[in-house]
Amino acid sequence: AEAARAAMGGSGSLLRREALGEYQELTFLSKQEILLAYKRFSELLPKEERENACSARVPKSQILTLPELRANPFQHRICHVFSTSDDGDDSLSFEDFLDMLSVFSDSATSDIKSHYAFRIFDFDDDGTLDRKDLEKLVNCLTGQGEDSRLSNAEMEQLIQNILEESDIDKDGTINLSEFQHVVSRSPDFASSFKIVL
């Protein structure tokens, strides 16, 4: 409640009540969660920018210090997917930050989570998961260390298995609807992808 009071108006940090209502409608976050998010976002900014947190952008290097992202193997992709920066620097505005926290939240639907997971795994941003994307995905999940790396044959076999399971139209790639179809058949998707979202 302390944080909520501060975000609503104390000590120069201000989130307008109308904005709060809008953010509640547009996200899966409660009023308290939005106010806490505002406080956390403000604290990532230099002191002199905190008054205008709603119009400021936080650089990617700062976003990566958040506990949710610090150990996440997809941290760079997550910043890239949620950033609306025109400069391509993957910085986040307060609204980008809210979108990210909203998708991470337990209240987000599995459709929304799978949509963003798909975008995060689509490393070349071409709208499909091809062999290169799947290889990067497996490397992210298994770690890049010498001990944990798969041999070429193991990688090939794994990608083959993933495609056999998911590539319904047999075009050699997984599109969003194929991905969501696989996800809908796996009730444990949300928990197994906690690592991502």
% of the chain exceeding 70 in pLDDT: 85
- pTM assigned to the model: 0.86
CATH number at residue 154: 1.10.238.10
pLDDT in tens, 135-193: 999 998 887 666 777 899 999 999 999 999 999 999 999 999 999 998 888 766 655 55
Long-range Cβ contact pairs of 82-90 (< 8 A, separation 24 or more): 85/57, 89/59, 89/60, 90/60, 90/63
pLDDT at 11: 41
| Residue-number span of the structural domain to which 132 is assigned | 110-193
Residues 124 and 182 in one domain: yes
Number of domains in the chain: 2
Task: Answer with the one of 50, 75, 104 that is the final residue of a domain.
Answer: 104
Is the confidence at residue 12, as pLDDT, over 50?
no
Residue 4 lies in a domain: no
pLDDT at 186: 76
Task: Answer with the one of 87, 104, 121 that is the final residue of a domain.
Answer: 104
